[in-house]
Structure formats: structure tokens, C-alpha cells
């Protein structure tokens, strides 16, 4: 076993309007292909979003064409199998996506939905000596509803053709794996019908790495797509007999610096603190100019208009000689605010649990039953996010706190089946 799994290259993205960033995404793609050539892998999986836009320009297509042509020339036995992510899908009036064009030129094999041999979705699969590879393009909110059908069809195909190591590529986010809540997320439990049918679920869509239970793998993007991804693990997987290993190639350096303004009383003091802060930063060991962001947070003790942001940006330029820099003042007075360093690497569910727990402890009234209160708060938040009508959400809240007041333990999403909970809310 020797293959690569990557996703979310977003070729064509000129981040911050910079042509050099446009080139960075192509360099990241090329670094993965070079790694594949050097390690003589059997095949490469791309789980969606090779391109950043559905309607790409000529230079973007040329980037993809050149890199994939290099693979075909230097390692013709190494094939690329891909699915369409939400950024790759064709506009209705175009009829074909750019991945379909690459497929027609033999530069990659696009796996599409196809009805065949008694199945309606999974008929277009790749049959190799030791592998069977399926793919499902981005379906958005409709993904969860077809998962049982996908599982049944894969089982049917495996039964008819003999069992092999089975890979399924899909493009969606699993609930709770990123800090910001996003539409179209799928709860992990909804994936369980696939577990008996698939050995390796190769995901794309979210730009940070995560893996679950030894069969669900999301490598993240290779390059950084947003400063919100700062310092999060990402890259691509090299999968061999001993398992999947995340490979993180060297990309353009990024530095995010945070400075608390709460004890700064005048703009001149702020400039002095900024200079001292950035001079203490470790040197950036790279021949590439970095991306640098300075975040100013906390209570500001003087008019914001008195701050000369351009002067601060000049300090960043002098110190780091960056490709791009930004100064971002953020006012965070809330006693419940948490620092970025405290939550880095945590999932959204873990962050929510911490925030709610801290809030209950500060309140004091429910300290003795904090766990039950937190569970109720999280469940009510999920119901509200699912657009359950307000009266039903209120009933759930009342029911939960009645249990707490009576000394009983609240049962929520972690211990009560979803259908039971929803039926109780509707009572």
C-alpha cells in the first residue's frame, strides 16, 4: 500500500490580491506531486477543490496542466483520482467543469455519479489490483440523506466483485471539527452506515487536518487559506501499510502576533509596546517573505482614532520585510472571552464546552450541577441552529432546568437518542 491523499489546493486563489500568493498555491500543488514522484506512490487522491473558482482563468488552468503533465511524464504509472468539491462544480450554463476537461485530456481520472449494474450513484468506480475507489462529488445539504444509499450500493458492488481495500472520496465537513459553525456539516453518527462498507473515507472541504476512529481522514489544505487557520495542522496524507502519516510541506511562513492593550494608557506607550513585542519575536527562517498579522486586543484606554495604524504597519515592515502585513485592533472586554492560544487545536465542540463551563462557574448559582447545565445549553444551541421553532426550544430549556432543580440528571445529545429528544421537545 502506497498512495497519497490530498485536497483543497484552491489553484487560482490570489490571496490578498497578490500574484505571489497565486503562485504559492501552484507551488503547494507541485510539492505534493513531486513528493509522489520521489516516493513512487501508486496513485494520488484529490478529495475536491483542486480549483478555487468554478470559472477559472487561463493562467490557473495552465498551472494545473503543467503540474499534472509533469507527473504523467516522470511517473506515468502514478494515476490521479479526483472528485469535484463545491469550488469545482460546473455552472449550469457551462455544462462541464474544468475537472472534466482535465479528465478528457487524460491528466486525471474524475470519479462521477453514475447508474450502473443495479446501483444509482456509485457505478463509476476505479478497479485496481488491490483497491476499489469510489467517489461522491459535493452535494451540500443533501449529503447526509444519501449516505445510507451510498453504503448499501458499495456493499452490493463489493459483494458482486469480490472484497478489496475500499476507498471512498467525499467532500463535506464533519460537525464540530472547526471553530466556526458552517452549513452542511454532518454529525459523525450519520457516517456510521459507511463504516462497514469502507476502509478509508478520504474527505476534503475543511482546511485543517483531522482523523476519526482510524477510518475517516481529512488532510486539510496544503497552503493556508485564511489567517483563522494560523498554526493549525494541515498537509496531505502518505498512506502505507503501517497507516496514514500527515506530511506538512514547507510553505510561505506566517506569523500572527497578539498584544494586550488593556494596561496601555496612551498611543506612544502602545507604539513602544508594539516595537518591544515584535523585536522579541523569533527570527523567521525562510527565504520567502512572510505573511504577518498583529492583533491588538483588550480594553482600549484612549480613542481608537488616536492610533496611527500605518505607523505600526511600518514597524512590521521594518522588522519582518513581509509580503503582506495587517494590523487588526479587536476590542474584547467580555469576562468570558478566551485567548486564542487556549483553544488552538481544539474542535468547536470542545471550545463550546469550555466557554459554557466557564460561564456557569462564574455565575455560581448552578456550580453544583454544572455538567448538566452545560449539556442542556449545548443541546438548546443545537436546536436553535437547526431552526427548530422557538416554542419547542423553550420547552426543551424548561424541561432541562426542571430536571436540574429536582436533582435529576439532564439527558442531552450525548446520552439520549436524537429522535427521542425531538419527540420530547414536541410534547
Q: Report DSSP letters for 229-248, one per residue.
A: GTT----EEEEETTEEEEE-
Of residues 257 and 369, more confidently modeled: 257
- The whole-number average pLDDT for the span 52-60 is 96
Backbone angles phi, psi at 150, to 5 degrees: -60, -45
Q: Which of 143, 122, 124 lies closest to 204, judged by CA?
A: 143
Number of Cβ within 10 Å of residue 171's Cβ equals 28
CA dist., res. 60 & res. 54, Å (int): 11
Q: Flag the least confident range among 71-75, 264-268, 319-323, 392-396.
A: 392-396
Over residues 93-128, the pLDDT tens digits come to 778 999 999 999 999 999 999 999 889 999 999 999
Q: Which of 94, 132, 134 lies closest to 110, judged by CA?
A: 134
Decide if 107 contacts 80 (C-beta within 8 A).
yes
Number of Cβ within 10 Å of residue 392's Cβ equals 15
Please give the C-alpha separations between residue 115 and each of 23, 54, 124, 170, 337, in angstroms, as whole numbers: 39, 25, 8, 18, 52
Q: Is 294 helix (H, G, I), strand (E, B) or coil?
A: strand
Of residues 179 and 266, more confidently modeled: 266
pLDDT reported for residue 413: 42
Decide if 207 contacts 226 (C-beta within 8 A).
yes
C-alpha triplet 32, 37, 43: angle, nearest 5°? 80
Over residues 296-355, the pLDDT tens digits come to 999 889 988 899 999 999 999 999 999 999 999 886 544 445 555 555 556 666 676 777
> Per residue in 250-269, is it b (16+ CB within 10 Å) or e — as a string?
ebbbbbbbbbebeebeeeee
Q: How confident is the model at residue 359 (pLDDT cuts 50, 70, 90)?
A: low
Highest mean pLDDT range out of 249-263, 334-348, 375-389?
Answer: 249-263
Number of Cβ within 10 Å of residue 275's Cβ equals 14
> Where do the domains of the chain lie?
2-247, 254-330, 340-425
Please give the C-alpha separations between residue 270 and each of 48, 279, 280, 331, in angstroms, as whole numbers: 45, 14, 15, 15
H or E segment and range at residue 330: strand 324-330
- At residue 408, does pLDDT exceed 90? no
- The pTM assigned to this predicted structure is 0.78
Cell of 286: 525562510
- The whole-number average pLDDT for the span 374-403 is 70
Start-to-end Cα distance in the chain: 53
Number of Cβ within 10 Å of residue 29's Cβ equals 23
Q: Show Cβ contacts of residue 237 under 8 Å, excluding neighbours closer than 6 positions.
A: 4, 5, 6, 217, 219, 244, 245, 246, 247
Q: How confident is the model at residue 399 (pLDDT cuts 50, 70, 90)?
A: confident
Q: Is 348 helix (H, G, I), strand (E, B) or coil?
A: helix
pLDDT reported for residue 96: 92
Decide if 237 contacts 246 (C-beta within 8 A).
yes
pLDDT reported for residue 282: 94
pLDDT reported for residue 425: 41
- 2-247 maps to CATH 3.20.20.70: no
Cell of 332: 474584547
- The whole-number average pLDDT for the span 63-72 is 98
Decide if 203 contacts 174 (C-beta within 8 A).
yes
Helix, strand and coil percent figures for the chain, each rounded to 5: 40, 20, 40
- At residue 244, does pLDDT exceed 50? yes
Decide if 9 contacts 50 (C-beta within 8 A).
yes
Decide if 237 contacts 117 (C-beta within 8 A).
no
Cell of 145: 440523506
CA dist., res. 109 & res. 88, Å (int): 14
Q: Which of 12, 4, 3 lies closest to 223, judged by CA?
A: 12
Amino acid at each position: 500500500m502506497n498512495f497519497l491523499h490530498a485536497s483543497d489546493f484552491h489553484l487560482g486563489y490570489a490571496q490578498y490580491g497578490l500574484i505571489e500568493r497565486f503562485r504559492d498555491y501552484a507551488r503547494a500543488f507541485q510539492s505534493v506531486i513531486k513528493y509522489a514522484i520521489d516516493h513512487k506512490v501508486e496513485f494520488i487522491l484529490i478529495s475536491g477543490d483542486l480549483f478555487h473558482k468554478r470559472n477559472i482563468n487561463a493562467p490557473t488552468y495552465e498551472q494545473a496542466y503543467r503540474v499534472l503533465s509533469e507527473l504523467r511524464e516522470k511517473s506515468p504509472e502514478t494515476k490521479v483520482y479526483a472528485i469535484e468539491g463545491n469550488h469545482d462544480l460546473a455552472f449550469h450554463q457551462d455544462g462541464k467543469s474544468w475537472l472534466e476537461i482535465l479528465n478528457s485530456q487524460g491528466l486525471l481520472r474524475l470519479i462521477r455519479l453514475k447508474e450502473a449494474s443495479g446501483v444509482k450513484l456509485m457505478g463509476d468506480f476505479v478497479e485496481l489490483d488491490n483497491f476499489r475507489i469510489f467517489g461522491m462529488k459535493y452535494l451540500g445539504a443533501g449529503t447526509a440523506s444519501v449516505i445510507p444509499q451510498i453504503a448499501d450500493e458499495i456493499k452490493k458492488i463489493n459483494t458482486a466483485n469480490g472484497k478489496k481495500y475500499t476507498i471512498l472520496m467525499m467532500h463535506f465537513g464533519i460537525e464540530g471539527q472547526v471553530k466556526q459553525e458552517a452549513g452542511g456539516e454532518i454529525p459523525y453518527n450519520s457516517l456510521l452506515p459507511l463504516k462497514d462498507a469502507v476502509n478509508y473515507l478520504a474527505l476534503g472541504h475543511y482546511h485543517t487536518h483531522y482523523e476519526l476512529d482510524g477510518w475517516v481522514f481529512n488532510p486539510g489544505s496544503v497552503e493556508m487559506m485564511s489567517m483563522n487557520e494560523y498554526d493549525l495542522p494541515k498537509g496531505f496524507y502518505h498512506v502505507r501499510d503501517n497507516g496514514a502519516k500527515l506530511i506538512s510541506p514547507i510553505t510561505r511562513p506566517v506569523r500572527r502576533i497578539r498584544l494586550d492593550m488593556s494596561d496601555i494608557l496612551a498611543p506612544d506607550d502602545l507604539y513602544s509596546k508594539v516595537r518591544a513585542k515584535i523585536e522579541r519575536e523569533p527570527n523567521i527562517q525562510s527565504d520567502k517573505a512572510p505573511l504577518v498579522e498583529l492583533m491588538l486586543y483588550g480594553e482600549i484606554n484612549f480613542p481608537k482614532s488616536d492610533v496611527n495604524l500605518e505607523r505600526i504597519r511600518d514597524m512590521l515592515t521594518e522588522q519582518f520585510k513581509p509580503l503582506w502585513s495587517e494590523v487588526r485592533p479587536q476590542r474584547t472586554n467580555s469576562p468570558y472571552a478566551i485567548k486564542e492560544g487556549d483553544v488552538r487545536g481544539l474542535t468547536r465542540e470542545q471550545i463550546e464546552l469550555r466557554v459554557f463551563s466557564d460561564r456557569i462557574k462564574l455565575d455560581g448559582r448552578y456550580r453544583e450541577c454544572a455538567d448538566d447545565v452545560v449539556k442542556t445549553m449545548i443541546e438548546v444551541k443545537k436546536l436553535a441552529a437547526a431552526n427548530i421553532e422557538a416554542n419547542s426550544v423553550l420547552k426543551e430549556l424548561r424541561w432541562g432546568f426542571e430536571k436540574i432543580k429536582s436533582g435529576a440528571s439532564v439527558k442531552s445529545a450525548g446520552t439520549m437518542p436524537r429522535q427521542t429528544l425531538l419527540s420530547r421537545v414536541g410534547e
